Structure 1
């Protein structure tokens, strides 16, 4: 299986996320950050496609399925988002690797490592598949830990573990200031995507592996703040406080749900949204 994009497909995706060619006065890092921001605005993190798929047919997506979902703006879970974005960045001239990460179980997640952005041997981390805003490439040149970064409602830092084998992504609570390790990753590139990502098969087939078989989540990070469909509730970020607030009452029927999807996430397939809603709320939960 060839994990690649043609020049025409890369151009098509650039148009999908409304990204223009790099200006002559624009640095590689500034352009990269612009692409990351546009990706998180126009490509939703979502598990509606999974809930809309009959349980017995759920499986890891092929590369062609991942590619079609992203080129059409459907988005998906971390497996699709980080894999595709890594391939896309390489197709437009960046040097990136995909590295395994541990979110809740070993090797159940990935991050993107971008190499030689400003100068030879520098490294940056990108993660557009965690369900949190991370709107710039984070430099990995720190000795022990990075400064804090704030994106939308998330405040985070990176820190080497005690053996300097893995980098920890640590989130800081807005309310209490408490820190929590959300994930860890290393810098060793995946050489064979089909084999290296095999553990992520369970994301699609094992209801006990992740909560995404039991909850409905669609989100993106717009210029005016995050917007999230959590089950029956639309949640929006107050960009003055970076706090999340419920908007409107709980959604009670599939038609209202589809209308909100069409308004807030216009690239999504509405039949997929309807099927996901009906699976979760009008049938027994698996």
Structure 2
């Protein structure tokens, strides 16, 4: 077993001798979502490194930090391949549901496509609290996981050839657009994501270069920490606490394991 495979299993709490199959991927996805946070702290602290396989492994599996979609889905991609899956990274565009429009930053979202028994599935570990905790087939069939329902529609647009639609439990009465992605343009090397990182650091429209954000799923919902608030969603109920810098550091360690 490679070091990456062993470190990933250790991080999310899966034994080294446990065989990962397509049927057990939902278990792996859930453990990943509840362990490794979606966060932008390196961007806020101006401490980013080049996106390489070695640097992503060091950040997420050695230093036990989280990351944004291009880091989280890259590390999961390496783990999938190590465990014998046929997977490819692709890029997409996240829909701005507040503005009801597509942003102009370009294809800054990253996700995984996996082929199993001739069928293609979307597998995403880097979409904040909106994660499908099971592989989502590209044939339009809706899947249900503990946090909601997810489906994929085939489209013909400037942003990609498919759209992920989301209906989160306790939150969304109707289907909403998550993001578009292009299934026919696989990424050849994760160093391509340096372009994404540069955009998210520098562009005014970037949602990740202004304030710290950390979020992860929990057994009952999810938790989100910013520099001004800590919010817990538990079985549809919301508890929000206004915080200061000292409390931010306490909560980052307590709920996300981040020093």
CA distance in 1, matches of 2:88, 2:171: 35
Residue in 1 that maps onto 2:196: 200
Q: Give TM-score scaled by structure 2 length.
A: 0.83
- The CA deviation at 1:225 is 2.4
Shift of 1:264: 0.7
How far off its partner does 1:87 sit? 1.0
Q: Distance in 2 between matches of 1:135 and 1:220?
A: 13
Could you say which structure has the larger radius of gyration? 1
Contact 2:132 2:150 in 1 (8 A): no
Tell me: CA distance 1:205–1:233, structure 2 relative to 1, closer, same or farther (3 Å): closer
Give matches, 1:104-183, under 5 Å: 104=103, 105-116=105-116, 119=117, 121-131=118-128, 132-140=130-138, 142=139, 145-147=140-142, 149=144, 151-152=146-147, 154-162=148-156, 166-172=161-167, 177-183=173-179
- Distance (whole Å) between structure 2 residues aligned to residue 107 and residue 83 of structure 1: 15
**Runs of 5+ consecutive residues of structure 1 not aligned to the other structure:** 1-5, 271-286
Task: Indicate whether 1:246 and 2:243 are aligned.
Answer: no
Q: What CA deviation, in whole Å up to 9, does each residue of 1:27-57 have, x standing for no partner? A: 822221111111111100001221122xxx6
Give 1:15's aligned residue: 10
TM-score normalized by the length of structure 1: 0.76
Report the equivalent of 1:30. 23
State how far apart, in whole Å, the 2-side matches of 1:265 and 1:18 are.
Answer: 15
The residue number in structure 2 matching 1:40 is 33
* Other-structure match for 1:92: 83
Q: 1 or 2, which has the higher strand percentage?
A: 2
CA distance in 2 between partners of 1:30 and 1:259 (Å): 38
2:100 alignment counterpart? none
Instruction: Name the residue aligned to 2:216.
Output: 220
Name stretches of at least 5 consecutive residues in structure 2 with no aligned partner. 95-102
- In structure 1, how many angstroms separate the alpha carbons of the residues matched to 2:177 and 2:229? 27
Aligned match of 2:57: 67
SS at match of 1:161: strand
1:256 aligned onto 2:254 = no
Q: Deviations over 1:213-261 (max 9, x none)?
A: 112210111223211113321111222xx34x134x3112x22211111
Show CA shifts across 1:176-231 (max 9, x none). Answer: 73543221112222123324x35313344314141111122101112232111133
RMSD: 2.6
Give yes or no for contact 1:59–1:204 (8 Å, CA) kept in 2.
no
Change (3 A) 1:159 1:179: same
Say whether the 8 Å CA contact 1:207–1:214 is kept in structure 2.
no
Counterpart in 1 of 2:97?
none
Q: Determine if contact 2:51/2:190 at 8 Å carries over to the other structure.
A: no
User: What is the count of residue pairs matched by the alignment?
Assistant: 244
State how far apart, in whole Å, the 2-side matches of 1:190 and 1:16 are.
Answer: 26
2:51 & 2:205 partners in 1: Cα distance?
17
| Equivalent residue number for residue 232 of structure 1 | 228
